[in-house]
C-alpha cells in the first residue's frame, strides 16, 4: 500500500522528515542549529562531526534566506530529511523562503569579504540545487552519510573541479 502525505504526495517508507518555521530575524540561524541538533539526535544521528557539518550548512542557508528575502513576512522554513541511521542514505538539508530571487555560487576575488558560503555548501554536498517552492524558492543540499552514520565530507582538492549545481527536483516535503 502506498502512503501519502496530507497533500496527497507519495511518501517513501523509512524516510524521516521535519519542517520547522523559523523567525525572520538574524536569530534564525541559531534557532535552526539548535532545532536541527535535537531532531538529528531524536532520529539517532549521534555523530558529532555530522552535527557540525549540518550546522555549518544550516547557518549559511538560513542566513542567506533572512538576508535576501528582505521581509519579516517571508518566514524561512528549515527542512530535514533522512533515511534511518546506518542506511547510508543522504541527509537532505533545505531552507525555503518567500523570495523568488535565485542564489548562485559566484566567482570571487581574494579581497572580497563575503559571498563564499554557498560555495562551501556546494562543496560539502553530493548535490545541491534551487527549486521553486510554495511561491518562493527552496535551496537544498544532499549530504552523503556513511553506513556508520557520519557525513562523508569530500571537498574538492587542488586541481579538482568543485562540485557542480545539479538541477534535480527534490520530492516535496510535508509541512506537518
| CA distance linking residue 59 with residue 65, whole number of Å | 10
What pLDDT was estimated at residue 26?
Answer: 83
Structural domain including 120 reads: 14-143
* 170 inside domain: no
What pLDDT was estimated at residue 105?
Answer: 67
What pLDDT was estimated at residue 61?
Answer: 94
* 166 inside domain: no
* 167 inside domain: no
| CA distance linking residue 50 with residue 170, whole number of Å | 21
* Residue range 67-118, pLDDT digits in tens: 877 666 678 999 999 987 777 788 999 999 988 877 766 676 777 767 678 8
* 8 inside domain: no
CATH code of residue 43: 3.30.565.10
Largest separation between any pair of C-alpha atoms in the chain: 57
* 3 inside domain: no
Number of separate domains in the chain: 1
What pLDDT was estimated at residue 169?
Answer: 36
CB atoms within 10 A of CB 128: 25
User: Could you state, in chain order, the average pLDDT of each consecutive group of 10 residues for the chain (176 residues)?
Assistant: 49 80 90 95 88 93 84 82 80 91 72 76 88 90 74 53 39 38
Handedness of CA 162, 165, 170, 175 (dihedral sign): positive
Its pTM surpasses 0.85? no
* 106 inside domain: yes
* 52 inside domain: yes
| CA distance linking residue 106 with residue 83, whole number of Å | 32
* 4 inside domain: no
Could you give the angle at the alpha carbon of 146 between the alpha carbons of 152 and 40, nearest 5°?
90
Amino acid at each position: 500500500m502506498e502512503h501519502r502525505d496530507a497533500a496527497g504526495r507519495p511518501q517513501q517508507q523509512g524516510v524521516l522528515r521535519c519542517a520547522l518555521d523559523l523567525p525572520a530575524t538574524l536569530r534564525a540561524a541559531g534557532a535552526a542549529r539548535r532545532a536541527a541538533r535535537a531532531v538529528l539526535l531524536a532520529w539517532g544521528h549521534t555523530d558529532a562531526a555530522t552535527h557540525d557539518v549540518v550546522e555549518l550548512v544550516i547557518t549559511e542557508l538560513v542566513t542567506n534566506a533572512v538576508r535576501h528575502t528582505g521581509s519579516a513576512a517571508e518566514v524561512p522554513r528549515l527542512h530535514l530529511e533522512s533515511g534511518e541511521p546506518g542506511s547510508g542514505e543522504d541527509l537532505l538539508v533545505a531552507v525555503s523562503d518567500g523570495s523568488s530571487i535565485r542564489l548562485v555560487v559566484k566567482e570571487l576575488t581574494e579581497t572580497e569579504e563575503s559571498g563564499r558560503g554557498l560555495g562551501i555548501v556546494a562543496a560539502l554536498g553530493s548535490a545541491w540545487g534551487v527549486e521553486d517552492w510554495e511561491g518562493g524558492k527552496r535551496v537544498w543540499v544532499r549530504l552523503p552519510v556513511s553506513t556508520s552514520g557520519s557525513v562523508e565530507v569530500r571537498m574538492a582538492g587542488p586541481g579538482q573541479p568543485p562540485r557542480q549545481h545539479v538541477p534535480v527536483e527534490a520530492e516535496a516535503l510535508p509541512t506537518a
